[in-house]
Amino acid sequence: MHHFITLRCSYLLFLLTTGNSAPSPVDSMKNNFKLLADTTLIRIKKLINEFQISPNIVISDVDYIPNTTLEKPLVLCSVTEKLNTFQLIFPKLPLDGMSQIQSDVVGLLDITKRLANSCRCPEKKPMSDARLDASLKDNAAFHLLIANIALTRLQELLRKLISNLDQLKNC
């Protein structure tokens, strides 16, 4: 009986010490980002599995699709820029399921902008989508392949962000 009372008292003490502190707004935004990013990753995986495109197929002139392999530390401004580019690409790809991922990207972009605001980062103007439109128009016949590349790169970005979310403080 004594062990039960000791255990219960220590549990109540644990609840009191952890329950009093509310997460900071920045922590809440990061938690929301992580939850939405995890959900988006699941949706991306499902769509990529539906495509079943050979990894040996190569298409040129897709450098407008953000790539995270070249960038070591991610900073808020570059993340916002990359998400904004994905936001411009996805509506131009006529695929089922892409609208939900588009909505997720809009939500992630909003959270990222609020994080950048909280860190007092200067707001950058989004890139012009004239080159993007031209490239997408030129490669319209390959929309499945472009969608696969864009989804794969978004997946890489989100994975990198989730694993490095705590270091994402710089503009």
50 contacts: CB under 8 Å, gap ≥ 6: 97
What fold does the segment set 30-53+60-167 form as a domain? Growth Hormone; Chain: A; (1.20.1250)
The C-alpha atoms of residue 66 and residue 82 are separated, in whole angstroms, by 6
114 contacts: CB under 8 Å, gap ≥ 6: 29
Q: What is the pLDDT along the chain (171 residues), one digit of tens a residue?
A: 555 454 454 555 555 555 555 567 778 888 899 999 999 999 999 988 887 766 666 666 666 677 776 666 778 888 888 899 899 888 888 788 888 999 999 999 999 999 888 888 877 766 667 777 777 777 666 778 888 888 989 999 999 999 888 877 777
Cα atoms found within 13 Å of the Cα of residue 73, Cβ hemisphere only:
8
Q: How many helices (H) and strands (E) does the chain have?
A: 6, 0
How do the domains of the chain map onto residue ranges? 30-53+60-167
